Amino acid sequence: MAEHGRRRWRLVLTASPLQGHMSPMLHLATFLHSKGFSITMAHSDLNRPDPLNHPGLTFLPLRDNLSATADFAGAGQFLQTLNDNCRPHFQHHLVQIIDSQKEASASEKESIVVIHDNLMFFAGSVAADLGLPSIILRTSSASFFPAINIIPQLLEQGRFPVQGPNNQILDNEEIVSELHPIRYKDLPFLCTPIEQTLKTINMIITKKPPSAFLWNTFEFLEPTGLTHIRDHYQVPVFSVGPLHKIIPTHSTSFHKEDTSCISWLDKQAPRSVVYVSLGSLANVDEKISTEMAWGLANSNQPFLWVVRPGLVKGFEWFEFLPEDLVNQMKMRGLIVKWAPQKEVLAHSAVGGFWSHCGWNSTLESMFEGVPMLCQPFELDQKVNCRYLSDVWKIGVEIVAERGEIEDAIRKVLVGKEGEEMKQRAIEIQEKVKVAISHGGSSHNSLEAFVDYILSL
């Protein structure tokens, strides 16, 4: 039990049901528990974490009632319903804890702090109503923040496309002067109806600042983004990434990991394999996935491809691919439904990661010094892709067309350019390792965060 003077602490963490949000929150929970804090992990019914994998944490499943409202007109509506539905149960639970404190002896009294994912904004609002401090964990890149924050201003100035699809704007290579090196085409929410965009931005941005932020990034990587965030909110911002490396944690995966791919990797030559995964949410159509398959088959490099059931719209798995193509692919590659990604990226046979550039995937690849092929879809992915290819220079942006894919795979895995990218990836990897080791920026930031909680 973390004690400061005579005080004891209960941290009520609230995780979002998305894989890329849940994992960092569980890593944070495990770390804070190791520091002696009592942890309650509130989560929705949808995508529950497995308590058996996280002994020591108390889990609080919130009644989300989502199955009763299964049809959502987009991510914004889903988020609003999730928040509206989880709020009463969460509030009831906190009120119960507070009431129980009234009868507790001085030595048993606990100070309560709410730490929540920014998508679970109901938790911050309940905390404010009950007079409790709240802290937000952000699991996307710091560079994404200025790119969303500027959208209302661009809309006002008529510099943001609100009706779509408008291919001219979607291909607009011009740089947004305030956001160098981000181009108009890298901005999120392009061509989404204006009301929907503004509503979603309001949900993501957090208008009323919490007591503090935790950001899953590190100082040397995103100084500009972090400065923008600190200037904007004027509250402490602790950059504590990459959270998946701060403490060993059991699997945080919602899906069963197919570990057979590790023994397959064991048989491949060093740095020869391209690992392909588009994360937990992205969907592609049949045409794009067929191009991906041809690109992989024609590249003549071994590959490990995660085809998550549901990845390809309208199909169970990859049954639509022509038989001769599948046979050709099987000669060099392995297709699995879900991989132990961090283990895969750490494997010496992996030479490149073809990714949608989700932030967790980006951090995991960086930590292992693996160069990337970047195929972003939405939200922060295009911003991350731009930074990977243009600023950190450890990735190439690809278009899902078989010839381009084939070239890009060769470029990253066997070309001179790939060798240079690998060198830069290793330099970044070394800096990340320094950041999380004793005296490094993320390590210090986590220690400062613990002191910050104790000072509340």
* Selection from 7, 28, 55, 259 nearest residue 137 by Cα: 28
By CB under 6 A, residue 365 contacts ligand UDP: no
d(CA 375, CA 31): 32
Name the CA dihedral angle for 110, 38, 83, 134, rounded to a multiple of 10 degrees: 60
How far apart (Å, rounded) are the C-alpha atoms in residues 243 and 376? 22
Residue 23 interacting with ligand UDP (CB under 6 A): yes
Instruction: Give the interface segment with ligand UDP, choosing from 54-62, 353-361, 414-422, 439-447 (CB under 6 A).
Output: 353-361
* Beta carbon nearer to ligand UDP, 41 or 278: 278
Segment lying near ligand UDP (by CB under 6 A), choices 148-156, 169-177, 357-365, 416-424: 357-365
Choose, by CB under 6 A, the member of 360, 375, 384, 441 that binds ligand UDP.
360
Element holding 346 (H helix, E strand): helix 341-346
Least distance (Å) from ligand UDP to the CB of residue 377? 8
Residue nearer to ligand UDP on the CB measure, 10 or 54: 54
Angle at 190 between CA 188 and CA 195, to 5 degrees: 95
Is residue 20 within the footprint of ligand UDP (CB under 6 A)? yes
Q: DSSP string spanning 372-402?
A: EEE---STTHHHHHHIIIIIS--EEE--S-H
281 interacts with ligand UDP by CB under 6 A: yes
Are 349 and 273 in contact, with CB atoms under 8 Å apart? yes
Which of these segments, 17-25, 163-171, 181-189, 417-425, binds ligand UDP (CB under 6 A)? Answer: 17-25
Residue 111's H or E segment, with its range, is strand 110-117
Structural tokens at position 9: 């602490």
Cis before residue 181, ω within 30 degrees of 0? yes
122 sits in which H/E element = helix 121-129
Do residues 244 and 342 lie in contact, with contact meaning Cβ atoms separated by under 8 Å? yes
Of 18-26, 103-111, 198-206, 317-325, which part binds ligand UDP (CB under 6 A)? Answer: 18-26
| Choice from 221, 265, 306, 408 touching ligand UDP (CB under 6 A) | 306
Separation of alpha carbons 426 and 432, rounded Å: 10
By the rule CB under 6 A, 49 interacts with ligand UDP: no
Can residue 338 be called a binding residue for ligand UDP (CB under 6 A)? Answer: yes
Q: Which residues contact 319 (CB under 8 A, 6 or more apart)?
A: none
Amino acid in the structure at residue 88: P
Structure tokens at 151: 């959208």
DSSP annotation of 284 reads B
User: What gap in Å lies between CA 315 and CA 300, rounded to an integer?
Assistant: 26
Question: To the nearest whole angstrom, how small is the minimum distance from the Cβ of residue 363 to ligand UDP?
Answer: 8
Is 361 among the residues that bind ligand UDP (CB under 6 A)? yes
Q: How far is the CB of 234 from ligand UDP (least distance, A)?
A: 28
Could you tell me which stretch among 87-95, 103-111, 264-272, 338-346 binds ligand UDP (CB under 6 A)?
Answer: 338-346
Q: For ligand UDP, which residue of 49, 358, 376, 418 counts as binding (CB under 6 A)?
A: 358
Question: In the complex, what is the shortest distance from the CB of residue 156 to ligand UDP, in angstroms, rounded to a whole number?
Answer: 30
Residue 358 CB, shortest distance to ligand UDP, in Å, is 2
> From the CB of 315, what's the least distance to ligand UDP, in Å?
18
CB of 243 to ligand UDP, least distance (A): 10
Residue 253 engages ligand UDP in binding (rule: CB under 6 A): yes
Contact between 290 and ligand UDP by CB under 6 A: the answer reads no
Residues 40, 341, 375, 389: which binds ligand UDP (CB under 6 A)? 341
Q: Provide, rounded to whole angstroms, the least separation between the CB of residue 4 and ligand UDP.
A: 33
The minimum distance between CB 147 and ligand UDP, in angstroms, equals 16
Say how many residues make up the chain.
456
Shortest reach from residue 26's CB to ligand UDP, in Å:
11
Q: Name which position in 279, 351, 376, 418 contacts ligand UDP (CB under 6 A).
A: 279
For residues 10 and 254, give the distance between their C-alpha atoms in angstroms, rounded to a whole number.
Answer: 26
Which of 15-23, 50-58, 171-179, 204-212 is the region at the interface with ligand UDP (rule: CB under 6 A)? 15-23
Transcribe 207-256 into DSSP letters: SS--SEEEESS-TTT-HHHHHHHHHHH-S-EEE---GGGTS------SSP
Strand 38-44 versus strand 58-62 pairing type = parallel
Contact stretch for ligand UDP (CB under 6 A) within 16-24, 130-138, 286-294, 425-433: 16-24
As given in the structure block, the two tokens for residue 19 are 């894989």
Total number of residues that touch ligand UDP (CB under 6 A): 19
Nearest approach in angstroms of CB 371 to ligand UDP is 16
Q: What share of the chain is helix, strand, coil (3-state, %, to 5)?
A: 45, 15, 40
Q: How far is the CB of 245 from ligand UDP (least distance, A)?
A: 12
The closest of 48, 59, 83 to 69, measured between CA atoms, is 83
Query: Which residues form the interface with ligand UDP (CB under 6 A)?
Result: 18-20, 23, 253, 277, 279-281, 306, 338-339, 341-342, 358-361, 364
